[in-house]
Structure 1
Amino acid sequence: MTAFLSPLGILLPESFLHSHLYAALGAFVAVNTVMYVVLAIAKALPKIYPADWLPRRYQRAETRSIHPDGHL
């Protein structure tokens, strides 16, 4: 185990830090972090119900009230 440790306490050689594998791992961690932050912010915001903005299917086109000028 001591063969992998350098006097500075670095476990990996510097050439590994410049490899494509390390860059891909760093990109994965970055995307994962951004997704986690977005989900945390979305959970903190109040819920939005799209059905409140869409017209209701059960709403009548004309009023059936005894008051003909009533609202729909």
Structure 2
Amino acid sequence: MNMNQVINMVIRQVMRRVINKGVSTGIDVASRKFGSKDAPEPGAKPNAPDSAATQQRAKQTMRMARRIGRM
């Protein structure tokens, strides 16, 4: 591997981390700013039917995040 390839590889890795952190921060800010007013309190227990749907959405989100991370 020549030096140009090594530099490109390192830059790609660093930029991927920076972009992912920026996207995560942006989503957190947006969710706080535009959060639902009907959302339950943070300490409240979720209802049984909602928890299954929430878990399914979380799994789907994690799969999508892994696919995006591969690009």
- When normalised by structure 2's length, the TM-score is 0.42
Rg larger in structure: 1
TM-score by length of 1: 0.42
Larger helix fraction of residues: 2
